[in-house]
Structures are given as C-alpha cells and as structure tokens.
Structure 1
Amino acid sequence: MSVTDSLSVCTILGYNASNPLIFTRIDFWIFLAAVFACYIFVVRKMLLRTIFLLSCSLYFYYKSCGLFFLLILFSIGINYWFALWISESKTKAVRKLLLILSVGVNLFLLGYFKYTAFFIDTVNTIFGVAWKVPPSIGAILASWLKGEAVAFEDIVLPVGISFYTFQAISYVVDVYRRTIPALRSIADFGLYLSFFPALVAGPIVRATEFIPQIRRPYNVSSREASHALFLILVGLFKKIVLSDYISLNLVDRVFNNPSAYTGLENLLASYGYTMQIYCDFSGYTDIAIGVALLLGFRLSINFNFPYRAKSLTDFWRRWHISLSSWLRDYLYIPLGGSRHGRWVMFGALFTTMLLGGLWHGAHAQFVFWGGAHGVGLIISKIIDRLPSRILVNPFFIVLRYVLTFHYVVFLWIFFRAQSFETAQQVLTQILFEFNGSVFVQALMGYSTVFALMFLGYGLHWMPIRWGEGVRGAFIKSPLWVKGIITLLVVLLLLNVQSADLQPFIYFNF
C-alpha cells in the first residue's frame, strides 16, 4: 500500500476533532452518498438493513467525537439489559428497583460529563476550597498507558449525550410502564439509540414511534422523497444563509463585547440571536427529518413556528417539541401535573422548566433561563383563567402576542451570553445607552444582516398557506425543475458559507 493510500485510509477511519461529520460539511454528504450507494443492496433485508444502519450510525458518531463512541456502546448495552430485566421481572418491587438503577446509571453518566465541573466550581466558590475535577476512567487509563501523571482538566462533553440519554431513559420507563415490550434484538435497540440523522442534536426520538418502523418494509414514495429534498434544502438555507451570517456579522460581535456597542445595536443583536437560534436548530432538525425520510424513517416535527405563539404555554408547544413533550411525559406529569390542584401544578411547572434549563448546560444563566420560563408559564396559566371577554379582546390578544415574543427575546439574552455579567452588560446598554439616532448608520453598516433578519422573520410570520404552497409546488414540480432549484441553492450556499466551521448551537448540549 502506498503512502497516499495509507493517508486516505487514515482520513476515512481516523478521527479528526477539527473535521467532524456535520450537515454543513461536504464530508457528510459524501458519507451519505456512500450510505445510499450501499443501502440499496440491503434495504429489502430487515436484519442486514438494521445492522448496516447501526454500523453507519456508530461510524458517524465516532467521526463526530472520537472514542466517545464507546460511551454510546455502553449506553446501548446497559439500557438494553436493564429493559430486558425489567420486562422479565415478576414483582413490582424488583421492577421498580431496576428502573431506579437504570435511570441512576444514565443520570450519573450525564451528570459526570455535564455537571461535575459546575458542581465543583460552586463548592469551591461557596466554601473557599480548591477541589479539582476527577478525571474519567478513560483519561486515567490513557495516562497510565502513556506513563504520565493523571491530569485534572476540564471534562469534554460527548456530542449528543443529552439527547441519547433522554431517549434511553424514556425507553426503559416505557418498558417499565408496559407501554412497549422490551426489544430482544440489541441491534434494533442500538439503531433506535444511535440513529445518525437525529443522534447529535435531536429531535429526541420516542421508542413508541421509531421502533415499529425498524421492521417495516422500505416504502418511500416519490412525493415523500421530494418532500425530504425540500426539507434538506430549507434546513441548509436556514443554517448557512440566515443563522451563520447573522451570527458572524452581528450577534457574535456584540455579545463578545456588549459595552463596545450602543444599546440599539445590543437590541438588534438580541433580535438577531432570536432568529439565529431558531434557524440554526430548526434547520438541523429539518435536515435530520429529511435524511431520515430518505432512509425510510418518519421523525416527528420539532418546531411549529414558535414565534407565532400567543402565550408562553403556546410557545412551548411549538419550540423544541420533542424536548418539551419529553419533559411533560417523564417529569411534569410524574411530579403531579395538573391533577392535584393549582399549587402542585405550579410547583411541577417550575421544577420541570428549571431542570429543562439545567439540561441545556451547567451554567447559572441556563438555570435562570429555565426558571424564568417556569415563572412565565405559571403566569400564563393564571392569565388563562381570566374572564373570556378579556381573553378574546383583540387588543389583549395582540398585546399578549407582543409580550410573549419579547419575554422570549429577553430570556434568549441569558441563553446566549457567556456569563451573567455579559447578559447584564447587554441589558444595561439597551436600557441606559440606547442611542436611536444611530439607527440609519446601523442600518447602512449592517444592511445585509438586517435584510436577512427581515427575510427570516418575514418567512416565519407569513401566512402558513403561502409556505405550504411553496412546498407543494416544489413537490409537484418536474424532476428537472427540482434539479435546477437544488443546483441554485447549493451554489448560493457555497457562495455565502463561512470559511470557518460553524457548528450547530445544540451540538454543545
């Protein structure tokens, strides 16, 4: 084998942290083309199809985060066996004990990688001590093999661990509740937990929806294939043209140093981030749903025009639907939900949203973001109890729309800021350094950014039937028209794409 061949093999099989397989890189689409080229030979053979897709998913995860793919293998194995033990246990006490152990193992893994540093930093701050983060078993083993001292360093968060851990927990809980039977095939369960289109940033897949599809014959109509292509193109447009451009040319600049910009620019950056995070996250899930559909799997939608929400309750029915419904079914309802009176419901709401904020990351601003959403949901529930003559008043309806949207924008400031201090600087600039006289100057300086923000909000708030009309026209168009549109979109993406890798925001969660 020549040196060139060896390098090619290393490129294909090796892990490069600076070159992960993500939807916005050409490497991913080469990988996907190779997957489809082989898929046609196994698609009619159920077991081979499952093993093939599982292998592709594990390879995808390995290329995304290296040896952390061993962690998902462990998660597959331990949750597979726990579910079987729960299913085969005869007594309720044993089943409950196994459920507690399973959830405990999953939360321990998630907690170690995501919250250990936050916990130790908090203890150090409160008690004035100097504890250090304990290294993982993998780090200890690597240091021992190299003959080096064990390093106490920051813990690297494995990509997608929050998503597949929640999927694992919901599967075991569903088996415990006898909602679904425990899978006998570890390959089937492995594919459910690691299915690559949704692996690293969702949507959070439910076992009740996904597992029955594993054994169904492949059946994707030409209409569904066209719909999948439409979703992929829309998702790439949202991410590269809207989200990345707004981020690089306005949001990142302002949030990196809020005090250097006027209050007007800080406010515009807040509106910009509101659109950026929506286009970034919904763009990812559009692509994931499209790729999954081409492979023969139907995933549920994750966004439903969230900034059209008429209340904060409505917002959470539209935003990150797979997470909000997961929190509802596996946390809010077990905490009491709305079945035990108003105060229990309020407590369950606040606790659920507080933990939902913590799910996003071990930082004080995420805890505040979640808690503030919990308070907002409680207020929303109280408002819903007002007399109907007030609730149907046109002025009140418009006012509630506006207040809901701006409450969401306000909380996105804390979500985006690197610290509480940064968020406070942004708000201080908006409240006390607002210089409206520079509006025209800002408009000229950020003309392209404003145009894209206007386009993003315009597309979001335009009548739904218009968007459905565009989707329907694309689906019904001849193949050559689809080809031309695809080519034009790809050329646009190549023209505006940043030279630096812009990872999806939710890769960090």
Structure 2
Amino acid sequence: MFPTFDLDKFLHQLVYDENNPLLFNNGFFVYLFFIFIILYYLLRNNLTARTNLFCLTSLYFFYKASGYFVVLVIISAIADFLISNAIYKSKSLIKKKALLIFSITLNLGLLFYFKYSNFAIQILNDIFLFQVHPLNILLPVGISFYTFENISYTVDVYRGEFVPVKKFNEYLLFLSFFPKLVMGPIVRAKDFIPQITLPFHITKEDFANGFVLIVSGLFKKLIISDYITLNYVNYIFDAPERYSGLECLFAVYGYAVVIYCDFSGYSNIAIGIAQWLGFKIPPNFLYPYQSLDITDFWRRWHISLSNWLRDYLYIPLGGNRKGKLRQYLNLAATMLLGGLWHGASFNFIIWGGLHGIALSIHKLWHQATKKITNHWQKFGIYQFFSLLLTFNFVCFCWIFFKASSLTEAVTMINQICYHLNFSVWNRFWENYHSVIIMIAFGLGLHFIPARYNHRFTLGLQRIGLVGYAIIFLLLVLTYGYFKSSDQVLPIYLQF
C-alpha cells in the first residue's frame, strides 16, 4: 500500500504557524532551502532572475517566521529606497537633512510603536498614576535588526559614503536576505550590496567554511544551549528563591554558556549559509569570554551591533573627541540605549548601564595605570585574573538580562550572596552532574584556539564528501540523543 497524500496537511505546511515559526533548525527549512539552492544554481548567470528569486524566497521565509509582519519589511524597504535616492539626488543640504530626519523618525517610530509603546504606558501609569491599559501589540520578528540596517543605509548615503542602488530588488534583497533577516547579524549595505552583482562562484574552501559554521552553529544551539536551558537554567531563573545559592550561581554560569551558544550558533548558521550562496558576512562573535577586559569583550561580542552603536551613536555623540568626561558620558549613553535596544524593560536598561559604567571605569583605569598595565600584561597570572574578573562581571550582568523582572534579578543575587553553601556540593553534583559537564564542555569549546578550527576546515577539504557526510550524521545522531520534546526558540528572536 502506498501512503496517501494529504493535501490539507501539505497546504497547512505552506502557511504561517505561530506555534512553529520557521527557523534554520526546522525540517521545513531544509526542503525550502533545497528547492531554493537548485533554482538559484540554475539561474546563477541571470542576475535579475536570481535576485528576484532571492527576494521572493527571503520574503516567504520571513512570512513563515513571522506571518503578515512581512508587510512591514516591504513597506520599510520601499520607504528607505525612495528616501535614500532622494537624499542622494538633492543639492540642498537642508533638504538632505530633512529627508534623513524623516527616515530616522519613520524607522524609529515603527520600532517604538511595536516595541516600546506598552513600556512607555507602564512608566506613565507609574509616575502619574494613570490607568491606561496596555495595547494589544505583537512584536514583529527581526524589527530591531532591519530597522538598524535601514538607518545605517540612509545615514551612509547622507554622509556620501555609499551611492544608493537604483534597482529596488537589490535594496529589498539587502534588507530581507533570509540568512540574517530574523536575528542578524546587522549587515552594512556598503559591505553587502556590491556582492549582489558578483558572479556566483563557490570554492572548496567556501563550502568547507560554510559547512563548519553551519554544523558548529547547530551543535552549539540545538545541543549545548537547548540542553542547559531546558534541564537547568530556565527553572532556576523562574523561581530563584526556591534554590540554594550554589544552584543559582551555576545557573548564572550556565546562562552565560546558553546565550553565547544560542546567539553565536545562530549567527554561525546565518554566515555559513550566506557563504554557500556566495556572500561574505563578517563574524559576529570572536571568542568573547576570552576577553581580558570589558572593552575587549565588546570588540568580540555581537560585533555587528557593537560596531553599529559605535559608528551611528557613540561617534555622532562626540566619541572621545570632546574630553574625558564627555567620553565617559557618551559611553554610558550608548550602552544604555544599547540595552534598551534589546528590550522594553528596566532590566535591559540596567544591563546596558552596568556595561556603560564598566567601559568608562576601564578607560579611566587604563589611562591612570597604562605603564603598569602594559608591563603586567606580559605575565600569565595577570591575564588569568583579568579574564576571570571580566568573565564574572559579564556573568553578573547576564542576571539582569535573563531575569524576567528586577525582583527576580535581585532575588537571584541575594541567593548567591547570602545562601551560598559549598557543603551541599555532593548532593548538587549528584542531581546536576550532566548539566555541569555540559556547561564545562561549552566553555571548553569556547577556549579552543582559532588555529585549530582553521586546521579542521583544511582537513575537511581533503576528506571530501565522505567527511562531510560522517560529520553531519554524527550531528544528527547526537541531536537525536539530546533532543527534547519542548522547542527552545532562539533567545534573540524576541529582539
């Protein structure tokens, strides 16, 4: 007997399902990508056709990930495409500025409405004792990412750093490029758009690099991050008052591994898929927990956001050009807004503020002790304690990032500070040894030198298809062993 074809079930797979949004780890994505890559290869020599195919696939991917919010991407693409060309053609500086302000207002206005309206209502209710009810607003997936890309595009055109594209499909592809649309990285038009018209050409090294990025990204997200999240971190953070200080402390360290593996894993997949399609996207993470100070951490963590905040916020505010005090205030303001970018919550503002204060203190400390610091940096013991201090400060800040409320964050800190008892270690290990091993394994992978990853990629090229197949099969088997019935959505999907 042949299996019957269920047309209704098939058609249901083609439409948006809010309980099962389309992501890279979704089985439907594999089929979609397989069909796309065949068509893309067939159309590789027809620039217009392959660009249009890419746009349609990207928009459909976004529809499957977020429903009818895909219309927002199209509207914002049309608006900024027209505005940027008007800025470029205008001979009047006043008109250019007016158009730029209109573009920024339009983009930030949409972002504010969807992301911060209820937060603003909450603040007004608390301050003025209003009784305004929250609005029934859903947050569009990826709006924080493509809003920043729109703004950087029009700003670069205004500054004369980039000539706007004349073909709308090229701008739409830049904005909707499906590997990075949902959760970044935040890509600059001047880095991405010139690649659209290049001939499609993939070398063995490109394929190997893409494969390693995709497989390592899936491993970090689906196995390490999801396992620690479901088996430990979530229920500790949900009710920290019920757990000991030791359990809360390891939940913080566990979350440090979770958020890194989750977001860097998804970024790796996006960059790897892009490389398979002939596009080079810079890395978004460079071993951030190896940082010896907080400034270095922000050169390694969410690099695309860090660079965006530096170029379009910190430097326009004055950067370090207007004295030390102004520099520290600019750093604090930039990180406060960076925290707010992540979410409409005082917890995110505190998280950003703490990093802003730390960056300012580090600048001040470095200036005051430059000669001493430069001398001691040569010694391993100094590097060890610098790394330890930086890592633990970052972990402390993650408490505010993860906690659902300020009360929960304070409770978590209170448990660690006043109820930390190592005498319960044996029982703790007995209950959570598999999670502790996974946390240690995740951190251990993070400290593997980059040169070994490069050697592995080169070795993979020599092994060929057999090597790719074996590694992918091992990933599938490992995932099958650790897979849970509960789906863990990527952390940065909410931003």
Q: For residues 487 and 364 of structure 1, what CA distance do their matches in structure 2 show?
A: 44
The answer to whether residue 383 in structure 2 is matched with residue 389 in structure 1 is no
1:285 pairs with one of 267, 271, 278: 267
Q: For residues 345 and 161 of structure 1, what CA distance do their matches in structure 2 show?
A: 30
Q: How far apart are residue 492 of structure 1 and its match? A: 1.2
Aligned to 2:86: 85
1:253 pairs with one of 223, 230, 235: 235
The answer to whether residue 83 in structure 2 is matched with residue 100 in structure 1 is no
Q: How far apart are residue 219 of structure 1 and its match? A: 1.0
Please say if residues 201 and 506 of structure 1, whose CA atoms lie closer than 8 Å, have aligned partners that are also in contact. Answer: yes
Q: How far apart are residue 497 of structure 1 and its match? A: 1.9
Partner of 1:384, secondary structure, is helix
Please say if residues 50 and 188 of structure 1, whose CA atoms lie closer than 8 Å, have aligned partners that are also in contact. Answer: yes
The answer to whether residue 201 in structure 2 is matched with residue 201 in structure 1 is no
Q: For residues 312 and 150 of structure 2, what CA distance do their matches in structure 1 show?
A: 12
CA deviations over 1:185-238 (Å, ceiling 9, x no partner): 110000000100000101001101100000000011022111111111100000
Please say if residues 15 and 63 of structure 1, whose CA atoms lie closer than 8 Å, have aligned partners that are also in contact. Answer: yes
Q: How far apart are residue 464 of structure 1 and its match? A: 3.0
Aligned to 2:440: 454
2:166 pairs with one of 159, 171, 184: 184
Q: For residues 176 and 229 of structure 1, what CA distance do their matches in structure 2 show?
A: 38
Q: How far apart are residue 468 of structure 1 and its match? A: 2.9
Aligned to 1:275: 257
Aligned to 1:296: 278
Q: How does 1:488-499 map to 2 (within 5 A)?
A: 488-499=474-485
The amino acid that maps onto 1:417 is: A
The amino acid that maps onto 1:424 is: V
Q: For residues 175 and 271 of structure 1, what CA distance do their matches in structure 2 show?
A: 43
Q: How far apart are residue 264 of structure 1 and its match? A: 0.3
Q: For residues 281 and 308 of structure 2, what CA distance do their matches in structure 1 show?
A: 15
Q: Which runs of 5+ in 2 are unaligned?
A: none
Q: For residues 72 and 297 of structure 1, what CA distance do their matches in structure 2 show?
A: 21
Q: How far apart are residue 75 of structure 1 and its match? A: 0.5
The answer to whether residue 148 in structure 2 is matched with residue 166 in structure 1 is yes
Q: How far apart are residue 488 of structure 1 and its match? A: 1.3
Q: How far apart are residue 6 of structure 1 and its match? A: 4.3
Please say if residues 21 and 64 of structure 2, whose CA atoms lie closer than 8 Å, have aligned partners that are also in contact. Answer: yes
Q: Once structures 1 and 2 are overlaid, which stretch shifts more, 476-485 or 237-246?
A: 476-485
Q: How does 1:311-350 map to 2 (within 5 A)?
A: 311-350=293-332
1:226 pairs with one of 205, 208, 223: 208
TM-score by length of 2: 0.96
Q: For residues 332 and 476 of structure 1, what CA distance do their matches in structure 2 show?
A: 46
2:404 pairs with one of 418, 437, 458: 418
Q: For residues 48 and 349 of structure 1, what CA distance do their matches in structure 2 show?
A: 45
Q: For residues 241 and 482 of structure 1, what CA distance do their matches in structure 2 show?
A: 19
Aligned to 1:26: 27
The amino acid that maps onto 2:356 is: G
Aligned to 2:468: 482
Q: Once structures 1 and 2 are overlaid, which stretch shifts more, 97-106 or 486-495?
A: 486-495
Please say if residues 339 and 345 of structure 1, whose CA atoms lie closer than 8 Å, have aligned partners that are also in contact. Answer: yes
Q: For residues 318 and 61 of structure 1, what CA distance do their matches in structure 2 show?
A: 28
Aligned to 1:148: none
The answer to whether residue 382 in structure 2 is matched with residue 400 in structure 1 is no
Please say if residues 227 and 475 of structure 1, whose CA atoms lie closer than 8 Å, have aligned partners that are also in contact. Answer: no
The amino acid that maps onto 2:400 is: F
Aligned to 1:143: none
Q: For residues 383 and 467 of structure 2, what CA distance do their matches in structure 1 show?
A: 42
Q: For residues 448 and 474 of structure 1, what CA distance do their matches in structure 2 show?
A: 30
Q: For residues 201 and 390 of structure 1, what CA distance do their matches in structure 2 show?
A: 38
The answer to whether residue 4 in structure 2 is matched with residue 5 in structure 1 is no
TM-score by length of 1: 0.94
Q: How far apart are residue 3 of structure 1 and its match? A: 9.2
CA deviations over 1:383-437 (Å, ceiling 9, x no partner): 2111412443234443322111111000001100000100111111101111211
Aligned to 1:142: none
Q: For residues 478 and 11 of structure 2, what CA distance do their matches in structure 1 show?
A: 32
Count of matched residue positions in the alignment of Structure 1 and Structure 2:
488
CA deviations over 1:277-336 (Å, ceiling 9, x no partner): 000000000000011111111111000000001110000000000000000000000000
Partner of 1:180, secondary structure, is coil
Q: Which runs of 5+ in 1 are unaligned?
A: 134-151
Partner of 2:6, secondary structure, is helix
Q: How far apart are residue 53 of structure 1 and its match? A: 0.3
Pick closer, same or farther for the CA change 1:8–1:335 going to 2, 3 Å. same
Q: For residues 163 and 480 of structure 2, what CA distance do their matches in structure 1 show?
A: 47
The amino acid that maps onto 2:386 is: R
Q: For residues 189 and 273 of structure 2, what CA distance do their matches in structure 1 show?
A: 19
Please say if residues 366 and 373 of structure 2, whose CA atoms lie closer than 8 Å, have aligned partners that are also in contact. Answer: no
The answer to whether residue 338 in structure 2 is matched with residue 356 in structure 1 is yes
Please say if residues 390 and 396 of structure 1, whose CA atoms lie closer than 8 Å, have aligned partners that are also in contact. Answer: no
Q: How far apart are residue 66 of structure 1 and its match? A: 0.7
Q: For residues 157 and 448 of structure 2, what CA distance do their matches in structure 1 show?
A: 43
2:358 pairs with one of 351, 373, 376: 376
Partner of 1:446, secondary structure, is helix
CA deviations over 1:311-370 (Å, ceiling 9, x no partner): 100000000000000000000000000111111111111110000000000100000000
